[in-house]
């Protein structure tokens, strides 16, 4: 009886101890969880300065924000306008100015409307003139007009310099400001002042805007068992579309291939890796991604290999950019294809879209693409193995670059 009483007392004390311990654990977990949530939701200025027990980086400590706040105060105190200024727009403008100072045309802050426009673009359908544009040697330049687009119909070509959009000089605009001005509602017109490649005189060209649907792939069979795959862009569906083109090639009885990447401005990197896998064994490096620190990240072939031993020529020109350069560079360095045409555009950077607020975003360059051997695409572009320049007369209606590719395949 005495033993039972002791056990009963022990059990009561044990249960009380467990309850107390459990309560402490709950409180502890809640505290840690709350601290973690609080840490992650702390003001961005604390994240930048690292004030939670850390020493602020010297570079940030050296940054004097006094001129910024003085300028803000002067605007608040003295600016006279027709309407009261929007402080939110002041913040957006400050961010735009900050990223513009990086000198990178592909790092851009998107205010609400620009963010919506960008989302429409990456879906593959938007309203505009249908030309991919970039910055070449500090000048707004047409990378390539899309096939069948208003830009192509108006006579715009790869390498054309855009000097003015309407009445606005483009040297005063960021890349994305220029894109925003060129776009507009279907059926409206935009006047561009253009300096054609290899010409001194500028001309004004009026282009009617339309809904732009980004094309993907075209195929054609040529004599001599040569099959042509024209890849217009690297969209989300390009990998699947290319697989269908490969099936068509294999069923056609053709034994040689021309992959036409001229005026292909790029797009989804994953599609370039997927397409390269048709030519390369599993594990072969397609491209390297070099970020700010650490060793390059390697992207490798999945080893589909159906085109591995097919004699292949890739057509390139100054309108071949980004994912086009990645694919062409990989196949050139692995000796799976030769490049015919002209040097590529030279856009080998990686952008990532980061939300700043629910309505705004920052498209920021986070890395550079390198070829399998480690060559930077951004610096020079890719030179062709066989250079074929388009003459000033356009070749009198002949596609002399394609003719050179066909000649090479018929003689090798």
pLDDT at 148: 83
Q: How confident is the model at residue 25 (pLDDT cuts 50, 70, 90)?
A: very low
- Told to judge if 347 belongs to the known catalytic residues of this protein, a careful annotator would answer yes
Which of the 8 DSSP states describes residue 75?
H
The pLDDT value recorded for residue 394 is: 62
Do 182 and 128 contact (CB within 8 A), yes or no?
A: yes
Residue 8: pLDDT band with limits 50, 70, 90: very low
Q: What are phi and psi of 60, to 5 degrees?
A: -75, -40
Question: What digits encode the pLDDT tens for the residues 211-237?
Answer: 887 778 999 999 999 999 999 888 888
- pLDDT level of residue 98 (50, 70, 90 thresholds): very high
The DSSP output letter for 224 is T
Distances (CA, A) of 230 to 175, 214, 313, 324, 396: 28, 13, 12, 12, 22
Out of 238, 322, 324, 349, which one is annotated catalytic?
322
Percent of the chain with pLDDT over 90: 50
CA dist., res. 297 & res. 290, Å (int): 7
pLDDT of residue 106: 86
Q: What is the mean pLDDT of residues 53-58?
A: 54
Q: How far apart are CA 345 and CA 365, in angstroms?
A: 17
pLDDT band at 33 (very low <50, low <70, confident <90, very high): very low
Pairing of strands 256-260, 226-231: parallel
pLDDT of residue 105: 86
What is the sign of the dihedral through the CA atoms of 152, 154, 157 and 159? negative
Q: What is the structure's pLDDT at 39? A: 46
Check residues 341 and 377 and name the one with the higher pLDDT.
341
- Residue 169, pLDDT above cutoff 60: yes
Q: How much is the average pLDDT of 18-35? A: 40
Measured CA to CA, the distance from residue 178 to residue 187 in angstroms comes to 19
To the nearest whole percent, how much of the chain has pLDDT over 70? 80
Q: What is the pLDDT of residue 199?
A: 87
Question: Locate tokens 């004097």: which residue?
Answer: 64
Dmax (CA) of the chain: 115
For residue 328, what are the contacts with CB-CB under 8 A and spacing of at least 6? Answer: 261, 314, 316, 320, 337, 339, 344, 382
Whose CA is closest to 229, among 285, 278, 287? Answer: 278
Residues 181-217 pLDDT 10s = 998 888 999 999 999 988 889 999 999 999 887 778 9
Question: Residue 81 — very low, low, confident or very high, per pLDDT cuts 50/70/90?
Answer: confident
Q: What is the mean pLDDT of residues 381-399?
A: 83
Instruction: Determine the length of the chain.
Output: 412
Residue 46 a catalytic site member: no
Residues 6+ apart with CB under 8 A from 5: none
Cβ-based burial of 408 (10 A; exposed 0-12, middle 13-18, buried ≥19): middle
pLDDT at 342 over 90: yes
Burial class (CB in 10 A: 0-12, 13-18, 19+), 323: buried
The burial class, CB within 10 Å (0-12 / 13-18 / 19+), for 242 is buried
Q: How confident is the model at residue 31 (pLDDT cuts 50, 70, 90)?
A: very low
Report how far residue 237's alpha carbon sits from residue 216's, in angstroms, rounded to the nearest whole number. Answer: 8
Collect contacts of 288-295 with beta carbons under 8 A, ≥24 apart: 288/369, 288/370, 288/371, 288/372, 288/374, 289/350, 289/367, 289/368, 289/369, 289/370, 290/367, 290/368, 290/369, 290/370, 291/366, 291/367, 292/366, 292/367
Average pLDDT over residues 151-175: 91
- How many Cβ atoms are within 10 Å of 216's Cβ, its own excluded? 21
pLDDT at 46: 52
More confident residue, 384 or 124: 384
- Distance between CA atoms of 229 and 221, rounded to whole angstroms? 9
Catalytic residue among 336, 347, 363, 404: 347
Q: Per-residue pLDDT tens for 131-159?
A: 888 888 889 999 888 878 999 999 998 88
CA distance 127 to 19: 65
* Catalytic residue list contains 238: no
Which of the pair, 387 or 86, is modelled with greater confidence? 387
Burial class (CB in 10 A: 0-12, 13-18, 19+), 246: buried
Q: What is the pLDDT, as a whole number, of residue 386?
A: 98
- Point out the catalytic residue in the list 132, 152, 325, 333: 333
For residue 115, give the nearest of 366, 365, 355 by alpha carbon: 355
């Amino acid at each position: 009886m005495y033993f039972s009483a002791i056990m009963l007392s022990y059990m009561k004390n044990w249960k009380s101890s467990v309850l107390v311990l459990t309560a402490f654990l709950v409180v502890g977990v809640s505290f840690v969880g709350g601290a973690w949530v609080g840490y992650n939701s702390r003001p961005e200025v604390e994240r930048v300065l690292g004030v939670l027990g850390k020493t602020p980086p010297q570079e940030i400590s050296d940054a004097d924000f006094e001129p910024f706040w003085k300028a803000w105060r002067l605007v608040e105190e003295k600016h006279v306008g027709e309407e009261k200024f929007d402080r939110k727009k002041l913040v957006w403008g400050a961010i735009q100015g900050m990223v513009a100072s990086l000198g990178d045309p592909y790092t851009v802050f998107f205010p609400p409307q620009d963010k919506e426009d960008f989302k429409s673009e990456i879906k593959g359908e938007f309203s505009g003139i249908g030309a991919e544009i970039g910055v070449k040697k500090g000048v707004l330049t047409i990378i390539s007009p899309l096939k069948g687009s208003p830009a192509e119909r108006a006579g715009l070509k790869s390498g054309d310099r855009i000097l003015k959009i309407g009445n606005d000089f483009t040297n005063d605009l960021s890349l994305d400001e220029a894109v925003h001005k060129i776009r507009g509602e279907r059926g409206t017109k935009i006047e561009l002042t253009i300096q054609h490649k290899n010409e001194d005189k500028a001309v004004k060209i009026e282009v009617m805007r339309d809904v732009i649907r980004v094309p993907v792939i075209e195929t054609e069979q040529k004599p001599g068992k040569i099959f042509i795959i024209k890849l217009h862009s690297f969209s989300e569906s390009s990998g699947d579309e290319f697989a269908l083109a490969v099936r068509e090639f294999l069923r056609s009885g053709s034994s040689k291939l021309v992959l036409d990447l001229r005026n292909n401005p790029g797009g989804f990197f994953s599609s370039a890796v997927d397409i390269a896998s048709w030519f390369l064994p599993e594990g072969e490096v397609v491209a390297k991604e070099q970020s700010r620190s650490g060793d390059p990240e390697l992207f490798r072939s999945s080893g589909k290999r159906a085109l591995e031993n097919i004699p292949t020529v890739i057509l390139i020109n100054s309108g071949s950019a980004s994912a086009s350069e990645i694919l062409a560079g990989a196949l050139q360095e692995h000796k799976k294809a030769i490049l015919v045409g002209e040097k590529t555009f030279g856009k080998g950077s990686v952008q990532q879209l980061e939300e700043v607020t629910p309505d705004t975003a920052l498209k920021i360059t986070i890395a550079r693409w390198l070829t399998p051997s480690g060559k930077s695409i951004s610096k020079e572009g890719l030179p062709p193995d066989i250079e074929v320049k388009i003459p000033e007369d356009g070749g009198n209606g002949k596609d002399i670059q394609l003719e050179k590719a066909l000649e090479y395949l018929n003689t090798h």
